[in-house]
Amino acid sequence: MTSDSNPAFRINPDLDLPALARQFRDQGRLQIRNALDSGTAEYFRSVLQNRTNWGLAWQIGAEGPRAMRFAEARALSDEDRHILNQKAGEAVGRGEYGFVYDQYAMLDAYLERWEPDHPLNRLLEHLNDQPFLNLLREVSGIRSVIKAEAQATRFGPEHFLTEHDDLHLRDARRIAYVLNLTIPDWKSEWGGYLNFFDQHGNIEAGFRPIFNSLNLFLVPQRHSVSYVAPFAPDGRYAITGWALDS
């Protein structure tokens, strides 16, 4: 690998883009296995697991969304976190929207220079460079994509993201993506699945957070991240975001 100041970012050159494009056209979503060069994926998995100062993002019904940076999140006690998770869960139990997960806001970090030498700054640049954008264009058929927003996420035990469609009044989101960089051999019992729903609330598809897989789907589309079980041994690490055409 190259130095931390300029980590390598290589997409797997063996991807069959025409076949992936056909699948995406038919279903409006897909999971691309082994999306990145294995060295690239291992490097950024290590960055997320060992070198990222995680903040916290949450929404409790109509209260939110809210976020705090690393220093504030670190000051929370285990009891504080449990209460926050419980309140968010109670809101969901009332049929309201809610989520809780660890977050590193990559765009804010980049623009505000939180940690100028952090590898996630370079990763954000790579996600907005032509190789990655061209992959999104080729697979989706949406040639107008010009940039990608990104955040690093860690869904740890008791974290979740309830059903929503990713529509946003401000941003022209065309494609949503999840670059899974969690531990290998993630078990179904641990949760953290990206689930898609039909008009009746049935799960049409569920994507396991497989290491070095790239989930792509058209916006809008009803989906959620399922509850991560308290006994999950580690977090569901990923880079998530949207490709925009303006």
63-113 pLDDT tens trace? 989 999 999 999 999 999 999 999 999 999 999 999 999 999 999 999 999
Q: Which fold has domain 17-244?
A: Double-stranded beta-helix (3.60.130)
* SS3 of residue 214 by DSSP: strand
Q: Is the pLDDT assigned to residue 1 strictly greater than 60?
A: no
Compare 149 and 7 and report the one with higher pLDDT. 149
Q: What's residue 168's pLDDT?
A: 77
**Per-residue pLDDT tens digits for 194-214:** 999 999 999 999 999 999 999
| Res. 164: pLDDT tops 70 | yes
Q: Considering only CA atoms, give the Rg of the chain.
A: 17
Tokens of 232: 């999950």
Tokens of 140: 């989706």
Burial of 122 (0-12, 13-18, 19+ CB in 10 A): buried
Provide, rounded to the nearest whole percent, the portion of the chain with pLDDT above 70.
Answer: 97
187, pLDDT greater than 70:
yes
Q: Do 223 and 198 meet the contact criterion of CB atoms below 8 Å apart? A: no
pLDDT tens-place string over residues 28-61: 999 999 999 999 999 999 999 999 999 999 999 9
What pTM does this model have?
A: 0.94
Q: Could you tell me the CA-to-CA distances from 181 to 20, 81, 112, 124 in Å, in that order?
A: 20, 24, 25, 15
Peptide bond just before 18 cis, omega within 30 deg: no
- Please tell me whether residue 179 adopts helix, strand or coil conformation: strand
Measured between alpha carbons, how far is 12 from 37 in angstroms, rounded to an integer?
A: 5
Instruction: Read off the tokens for 139.
Output: 């697979």
Q: Is the pLDDT of residue 3 over 70?
A: no
Distance CA 173, CA 223 (A): 15
